[in-house]
Amino acid sequence: MRVVLVFLFFFCEFALGQSTLDSVRSKGFVACGTNTGLPGFSQPDSKGVWRGLDVDVCRAVAAAVFGDASKVRYVPATTQQRFTSLQSGEVDLLSRNTTWSFSRDAGLGFNFVGINFYDGQGFMVWKKLNVKSVKQLNGATICVQPGTTTELNLADYFRANRMTFKPVVIDKLEEVLNAYFAGRCDAFTSDMSGLMAVRGARGPAAAEHVILPEMISKEPLGPLVRQGDDRWFDIVKWSLFAMIEAEDLGLTSKNIDQALSGKDPSVQRFVGASGDLGKMLGLDNKWAFNIVKQVGNYGESFDANLKPLGFERGQNALWKNGGLMYSPPIR
Ligand SMILES: N[C@@H](CCC(=O)N[C@@H](CS)C(=O)NCC(=O)O)C(=O)O
Rounded distance from Cα 37 to ligand 1 centre (Å): 10
Q: What confidence score (pLDDT) does residue 4 get?
A: 54
Give Dmax over CA atoms of the chain in angstroms: 64
Distance 70 CA to ligand 1 centre (A): 25
Q: Give CA torsion, residues 30, 293, 289, 230, to 10 deg.
A: -20
- The pLDDT of residue 17 is 60
Contact status, residue 236 vs residue 222, Cβ threshold 8 Å: no
Residue 56 is predicted with a pLDDT of 98
CA-nearest residue, atom 14 of ligand 1: 173
Q: Whose CA is nearest to atom 12 of ligand 1?
A: 35
What's the pLDDT at 2? 53
Amino acid sitting at position 248: D
Report the nearest-CA residue for atom 16 of ligand 1.
Answer: 78
Nearest CA among 312, 134, 96 for reference residue 221: 96
Q: Give the mean model confidence (pLDDT) for residues 258-274.
A: 95
Mean pLDDT for the stretch of residues 190-216: 94
Average pLDDT, the chain: 94
pLDDT at 316 over 70: yes
Testing ligand 1's pocket by substitution, the residue of 105, 148, 219 carrying the most ligand atoms inside 8 A of its CB is 148
Distance from the alpha carbon of residue 330 to the mean position of ligand 1, in angstroms: 31
pLDDT tens sequence across 115-160: 999 999 999 999 999 999 999 999 999 999 999 999 999 999 999 9
Does residue 142 contact residue 189 with C-beta atoms inside 8 Å?
yes
pLDDT category, 203, cuts 50, 70, 90? confident
Give residue 15's pLDDT: 46
Residue 278 and residue 293 in contact, taking contact as beta carbons nearer than 8 Å? no
List the beta bridge partners of residue 144.
169
Give residue 46's pLDDT: 93
Return d(Cα 82, Cα 276) in angstroms, integer. Answer: 35
Question: What lines the ligand 1 site, CB under 6 Å?
Answer: 35-36, 38, 78-79, 97-99, 145, 148-150, 172-173, 190-191, 194, 219, 221
Confidence of residue 14 (pLDDT cuts 50, 70, 90): very low
Q: What is the mean pLDDT of residues 198-223?
A: 94
* Whether the Cβ atoms of residue 93 and residue 224 lie closer than 8 Å to each other: yes
Q: 43-44 and 110-112 as β-strands: parallel, antiparallel, unpaired?
A: unpaired
Radius of gyration of the chain (CA): 21
Pocket test for ligand 1, best of 78, 99, 145 (most atoms within 8 A of CB): 145
| Residue 250 neighbours by CB distance under 10 Å | 11
Give the model's confidence band at 8: pLDDT under 50 very low, under 70 low, under 90 confident, else very high.
low
Q: Which contiguous run of DSSP H or E holds residue 121?
A: strand 121-126
Q: What is the mean pLDDT of residues 222-248?
A: 98
Give pLDDT tens digits for 26-63: 999 999 999 999 999 999 999 999 999 999 999 999 99
pTM over 0.85: yes
Report the distance separating Cα 23 and Cα 77, nearest Å: 21
Q: What is the pLDDT of residue 201?
A: 86
Average pLDDT of the segment spanning 176-193: 97
CA-to-CA dists, residue 93 to 99, 184, 271, angstroms: 14, 35, 25
Distance CA 259, CA 79 (A): 41
